């Protein structure tokens, strides 16, 4: 499994760099939107839409909302803030949901939650990319640091389960290991971007923490739907949502906090 993950990462990393730094802006933004729509295809299964028609309908609704935001929201800063406010409210609710689990997830709730997750995530990724592709890459590195650090620290030291009913493999030791790697990445980011460590460290740790919330939340929906992996897009990794679950939660907070951090 680890070998497959490493091979997938070796292939995916250069493709990501091409998207961020080689493709024209319009093409890169199209790729970002397309990836979110792939996420919508996978999320449709959480809402009980397992057939092709149902999944396409869910993807179509997501695409329409993205188009509406492109036309009506992006030009207005207050409207953008409103979308991110919705995202923050949702992730606060999701955090409570994690503590209350197990609770049933009706299909309609899963469908609405999908929009509350995917649309703000797309908007945040799009805005941060247009601000600076390097800043978007930094955000991804923070989330991946939390994930990688948690994986190896959990394997080596994991004893106390984080949320055994949601994700039995995750441990508090893993989370702490992930945050240590996030702190290291944050320190390097402070040096690279010329920002104070006192600003970057708490900001990056907050991003790392909310990425864990995103990971656990997607796991709740998968368990409720009786699904182990969201898809089979990445060998050894599962589907796209299995790889970007933390990103969906981290992106809106990062987009809001990047200005405060001076990125």
Distance separating alpha carbons of residues 151 and 171, to the nearest angstrom:
9
Alpha helices in the chain (DSSP H): 2-21, 25-44, 52-68, 77-100, 107-131, 133-157, 172-193, 197-225, 240-261
pLDDT per position in the chain (263 positions), as tens?
556 667 767 777 889 899 999 999 999 999 999 999 999 999 999 999 989 999 999 999 999 999 988 887 665 566 677 778 888 899 999 999 898 888 888 899 999 999 999 999 999 999 899 989 999 999 999 999 999 999 999 999 989 999 999 999 899 999 999 999 999 999 999 999 999 999 999 999 999 999 999 999 999 999 988 888 777 766 656 788 888 889 999 999 999 888 776 67
Distance separating alpha carbons of residues 24 and 27, to the nearest angstrom:
5
The residue with tokens 């092709």 is 52
Distance separating alpha carbons of residues 115 and 157, to the nearest angstrom:
37
**Prediction pTM value:** 0.91
Distance separating alpha carbons of residues 254 and 204, to the nearest angstrom:
9
Answer for the pair 125, 32: CB distance below 8 angstroms, yes or no. yes
The domain ranges of the chain are 2-261
What are the two backbone dihedrals, phi and then psi, of residue 39, each rounded to the nearest 5 degrees? -60, -35
């Amino acid at each position: 499994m680890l070998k497959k993950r490493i091979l997938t990462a070796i292939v995916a990393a250069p493709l990501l760099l091409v998207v961020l730094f080689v493709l024209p802006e319009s093409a890169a933004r199209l790729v970002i939107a397309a990836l979110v729509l792939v996420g919508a295809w996978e999320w449709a299964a959480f809402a009980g839409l397992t057939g092709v028609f149902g999944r396409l309908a869910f993807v179509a609704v997501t695409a329409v909302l993205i188009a509406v935001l492109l036309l009506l929201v992006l030009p207005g800063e207050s409207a953008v803030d409103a979308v991110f406010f919705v995202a923050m409210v949702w992730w606060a609710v999701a955090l409570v949901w994690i503590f209350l689990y197990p609770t049933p997830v009706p299909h309609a709730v899963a469908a609405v939650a999908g929009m509350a997750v995917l649309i703000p995530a797309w908007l945040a990724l799009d805005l941060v990319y247009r601000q600076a592709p390097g800043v978007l890459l930094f955000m991804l590195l923070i989330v991946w640091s939390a994930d990688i650090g948690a994986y190896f620290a959990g394997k080596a030291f994991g004893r106390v389960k984080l949320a055994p009913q949601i994700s039995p493999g995750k441990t508090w030791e893993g989370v702490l290991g992930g945050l240590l790697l996030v702190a290291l990445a944050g320190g390097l980011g402070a040096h690279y971007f010329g920002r104070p460590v006192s600003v970057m460290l708490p900001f990056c740790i907050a991003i790392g923490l909310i990425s864990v919330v995103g990971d656990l939340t997607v796991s709740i929906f998968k368990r409720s739907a009786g699904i182990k992996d969201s898809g089979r897009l990445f060998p050894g990794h599962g589907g796209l949502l299995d790889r970007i679950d933390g990103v969906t939660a981290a992106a809106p907070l990062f987009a809001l906090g990047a200005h405060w951090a001076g990125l």
